[in-house]
Structure 1
Amino acid sequence: MLKIFDDLSTPLVADACLRVDVPLRAAPAGIGALIPGHRIAGRALPVRHYGSVDVFLEAFGRARQGDVLVIDNGGRSDEACIGDLAVLEAEAAGVAALVVWGLHRDTPELVEVGLPVFSYGNHPLGPVRLDEREPEALATARFGPHLVSGEDLVLGDEDGVLFVPAERAEEVLTTAHAIRRTEREQARRIGAGETLRDQTSFDDYLARRSADPSYTFRQHLRRTGGAIEE
């Protein structure tokens, strides 16, 4: 999956989701890679954290090679829910990356381990609570306003993290590749002196919009074969 995602980006995938009517599900702004430049792509392995590492160890027993552990820690800013030992154990279980709706700790050790970790950032304090576990602890993970399950793929890069239904992934990624080709050609033409306004017949768009206020630029791009918004 990471090879397929290699020459794409989360913005391109997000645009592709819009084009093929797949609901957009992105991690909240601020979730980013501990090590700049890390990219992730794999099946979601969801888990909800309640204050103890035992739920992670249980999840690792269900892991398949290349899974991305998606941790629901409620976006908390008062504790770090993973550290070096949990990440080392994740790596031993075949997990390819971790995405945390919350914070991490043991930053120098995590950098040394090198397994991709995406979170809000670091914090020295671990959990001091132990909440009641929900029945869905290993079935789904909340991530901001979204619910993530094992039926989702996780894609992440320097722009953020997206969750895409696995059953629509081929369609979304194929569309993202097509958008990328269009945008690269548009960029080449801009560099050669042909403005984006000329390429997209922007004056024609303005005239059509004047005659029909409901006519949108996205409609125009689809009619002219351009790409910039989606």
Structure 2
Amino acid sequence: MPERFADLSTPLIADACVRLGVPPRAAPAGIRAVVPGHRLAGRVLPVRHHGSVDVFLEAYAGAAPGDVLVIDNGGRTDEACIGDLAVLEGAAAGVAGVVVWGLHRDTPELVEIGLPVFSYGSLPLGPDRLDEREPETLASARIGPHLVSADDLVIADDDGVLFVPAANAGEVLAAAQRIRDVERVQARRIRAGETLREQTGFADYLARRATDPGYTFRQHLRRVGGAIEE
């Protein structure tokens, strides 16, 4: 199932979640791919970092092919918690990539390795601490305000990182595909000279809103079959 998300953008998936009433969970803004254009889709392999890479090695022991290592480093910007050797080991373990709530280092080596890594950015300094391990170290990870686990899928691209409950993956996938197909048609029609306002009957929407202030553009889009926003 995760691989079927590979050709769907995170905005499409976010819109699908909203349409279905599945709470959209996004990693904090600013987490980006080390190599622009890299994409990720896979089951969350969660880990909480406490200052040593041993937790990553332990997590890899339980990885299934295609999992994505999701690292909770508390969003710290005073240390880089993962570098080339830990990422290379992840590739050997079969993970599809790494998402870090924090920083990375060894950027040139990560580019050469080619495994997608998403983080806030780079810093040469590694950890100078060793904190007490938490009971949930390998069971869940915090990413901003969200708690994620192996019950979640993670999808990442140039727009950011999203988490979707695995139990809802099928319906979210189908809804995102429908939205994508509608938007592709709309884009072709705009390029052919038919404005989006014409396609969506925007004048009719404004006229109805004038007499019914509670009538929203989202309601109108659902009535006419458009897909700009959710």
- TM-score where L is the length of structure 1: 0.97
1:131-177 per-position Cα deviation (integer Å, ceiling 9, x unaligned): 11111111110001111110000101111110000111111111111
What are the within-5 Å matches in structure 2 for residues 143-182 of structure 1? 143-182=143-182
Does the aligned pair in 1 maintain the 2:151–2:165 contact within 8 Å? yes
**Mind listing any 5+ residue stretches in structure 2 that lack a counterpart?**
none
Question: What is the aligned residue count?
Answer: 230
Judging changes above 3 Å, is the alpha-carbon distance between structure 1 residues 164 and 2 closer, same or farther for their aligned structure 2 residues?
Answer: closer
* Pair 1:16-2:26 in alignment: no
The Cα offsets for residues 69-109 of structure 1, whole Å up to 9 and x where unpaired, read as 00000000000000111111111111110000000001111
1:129 aligns with 2:139: no
User: Percent same amino acid among aligned pairs?
Assistant: 76
Report the CA distance between 1:5 and its aligned residue: 2.2
Distance 2:170 2:130 in 1: 40
Code of the residue aligned with 1:93 in structure 2: it is A
| Worse-superposed segment, 189-198 or 36-45 | 189-198
The residue aligned with 2:87 is 87
Whether 1:184 and 2:184 are equivalent positions in the alignment is yes
Aligned to 1:34: 34
The answer to whether the 8 Å contact 1:2/1:40 transfers is no
Report what 1:72 is aligned to.
72
Q: Deviations over 1:11-69 (max 9, x none)?
A: 11111111111101011111010011111100000000010111111111111110000
Q: Return 5+ residue gaps in structure 1 as ranges.
A: none
Q: Which position in structure 1 is the counterpart of 2:211?
A: 211
The structural deviation recorded for 1:2 is 5.7
Alpha-carbon distance in structure 1 between the residues aligned to 2:21 and 2:72:
26
**2:146 corresponds to which letter in structure 1?**
H
Q: Which residue of 1 aligns with 2:193?
A: 193
CA distance in 2, matches of 1:104, 1:183: 36
Partner amino acid for 2:124? P
* 68-77 or 105-114, larger mean C-alpha shift: 105-114
- Contact 2:44/2:68 (<8 A) preserved: yes
Letter in 2 for 1:79: E
RMSD: 1.0
**TM-score (normalizing by structure 2):** 0.97
On the 8 A contact 2:3/2:42 being kept in 1, the answer is no
Partner of 2:220 in structure 1? 220
Moved over 2 A (4+): none
CA distance in 2, matches of 1:47, 1:3: 22
Tell me how far apart the structure 2 counterparts of residues 8 and 63 of structure 1 sit (CA, whole Å): 24
Paired residues of 2:6 and 2:40 also in contact (CA < 8 A): no
Q: Secondary structure at the match of 1:100?
A: strand
2:108 equivalent in structure 1: 108
Measure, in 2, the Cα distance between the counterparts of 1:145 and 1:115. 26
Contact 1:60 1:90 in 2 (8 A): yes
User: Aligned to 2:154, what secondary structure does the other structure show?
Assistant: strand
